[in-house]
Amino acid sequence: MASANPSSDTKRTTATVSSGLRQSQTVRPSPPQTPQQQLRSGSFTSTSPGSSFRNEDDAIIFEIGARWLRAGFEGNGTPMCVLGIGPEESRRAGDYRGWIEGKADAAPPSHPVNAEDWTRTYELWRPNLRDVDLGLVEDKIERLFRDTYNQYLLTDAGVSRLVLVLPSLIPHPLLSSLLTTLFSRWRFPSITLLSSATMSATAAGLRSALVVDLGWAETTVTGIYEYREITTKRSMRAMKSVLQEMGRLLTSLASGDPEKPSADEISVGFAYCEGVTSRLAWCKSQAGDEAMDELSSKTVSIPSPTHPEQEYTDVPFSRLAEPVEKVLIAPGVPEDEFDDEENSIPLLVYNTLLALRPDTRGTCMSRIVFVGGGARIPGLRQRIIHEVSLLIDRHGWTPVRGKALERQRQRLRELRLATEKQASNREPEQPASADASSSTDGERPGLSKEEPELDFVEQKLRRQNKDIPVPKQGVLREVESLGAWAGASLATSLKIRGMVEIDREKFLQHGLAGATRDSEPPVPDRRSGLRAGGDRSSWTLAGWA
């Protein structure tokens, strides 16, 4: 029998179909889900197949040096990439000489070249900017950053927060060129600057340290107390001079007369010389070491300086220690022959400790941190500490020294010896009843020699703090560090804003001249990351001023 109301049947049919569709959607199997991915911070998050494996809020850290660039994300223990600067990295598009002729730095040059010209093409900048083309430096920086983002970081430049780890002694024109390139080429809202010396101490788990950076162009010694740079001294004796001296040594070996002093020209390849230095250069831990003397009598076979891919040559192992000792230790050279900018490394460390306050000095000398390329040379760190110990024994902690002072000290010693001899020859004239008369006054003999008694407050503090370890003070001690990049990664992952936070608009408007010249920059608030009082209207260069 047909329904009297066809519209009601239609509604029932539509409702039935809709309910069926809802049921079919309910029982339909769910699409495959991406398994939980572990982020670098250690947390677990469910992500979709098209999402990234990292947090978008993670900052990107760049450590920029004279020859190397390290980059990676915050929270990592090691950088994702380490890029060098050289002729191979400076080739233009369509330049295939690296594949046709082989690497330019592997083969020896066609004619001897000057030592400075030999290393010039492998440097991003130099401390002396008189002969440096800042426009070329800006182009190299831009290319390095583009290659890093496109090949290793795989993210858009300008999206994440940028943190730069730089030495505090970087020249202002170079710092201005670096910031101008980054702000004008990409849309970074702000850039944070962190000191490489302070970050090296942070990576060692220290708040106070003496950081010895054996870098490429110069060696810097920085005294840090409670994360603040107190004093910094530098010397031009660094790995660049060591490599040039090794190049002269290998050039003399290639000429067939190892004992002949070579001129200031080098005829071996840069990569070959750098490989020999990084693998075979060493330093005696101390003079007169029998084990080292026995090792020095050995010979090693190295690739020939003239034909490194075909022949080998025998070299006394002791000769490979000469460049390091001659450049960095400078044994036998009087102190008065050094300029202020070319002190030997032990003397540089001693002068930096001498410039610190006594309490700060006692803390820093027990926490010496060696970083840089030269810190990997076997025996060098032990030799530096040994030489510093000899300087302390010889001069003490007084900056005054010289022949007149030595003559005065000799006269005082002679006067003291004469007085002691005269007092020993003199017979005692005190009566025997002196002890009895002194004891009648109620005073115990020898009371002045006893130690004063501690008050009850100090005794209570000593009982409460007996389990607390006493920190090392006043002894020379070395502490290992993971490096400046690892320290910056740790500090940035704590989400604390740095002391130097450069805003894009303010820098493009005023440049470095827009920074305030505060002698004592305010300490940022640990909770909010802002400066004291929440004032973000101005910014300061802090240690870079």
What pLDDT score was predicted for residue 104? 52
Report the alpha-carbon distance of residue 283 to residue 292 in Å, rounded: 9
What pLDDT score was predicted for residue 64? 94
Which residues, listed in sequence order, are joined to residue 223 by a DSSP beta bridge? 210, 231
Interval 177-227: pLDDT, tens: 999 999 999 989 899 999 999 999 999 999 999 999 999 999 999 999 999
pTM summary value: 0.77
Residue of higher predicted confidence among 387 and 308? 387
Residues contacting residue 223 through CB under 8 Å, at least 6 positions apart: 210, 229, 230, 231, 232, 352, 353, 355, 356, 360, 364
Would you say residue 394 has pLDDT above 60? Answer: yes
Question: Helices marked H in 452-511 — which ranges?
Answer: 456-464, 484-493, 504-510
Residue 101 has φ and ψ, to the nearest 5°, of -100, -5
Q: Which residue has the tokens 């990664």?
A: 489
Of 331, 303, 297, the closest CA to residue 317 belongs to: 297
CA distances 124 to 134, 142, 147, 371, Å, are: 10, 12, 16, 20
Of 68, 69, 39, 65, the closest CA to residue 54 belongs to: 39
Which residues, listed in sequence order, are joined to residue 299 by a DSSP beta bridge? 316
What pLDDT score was predicted for residue 98? 64
Interval 41-61: pLDDT, tens: 333 333 333 334 556 678 999
Residue of higher predicted confidence among 162 and 41? 162
In order, the DSSP letters of 160-193 are: S-EEEEE-TT--HHHHHHHHHHHHHHS--SEEEE
Per the prediction, the chain carries an average pLDDT of: 79
Which residues, listed in sequence order, are joined to residue 210 by a DSSP beta bridge? 223, 368
Least confident residue range of 54-68, 135-149, 254-268, 353-367: 254-268
Percent of the chain with pLDDT over 90: 43
99-113, 460-474, 476-490 — most confident range = 476-490
Task: Identify the helix (H) or strand (E) that includes residue 141.
Answer: helix 134-148
Residue 438 has a CB neighbour count (10 Å cut-off) of: 12
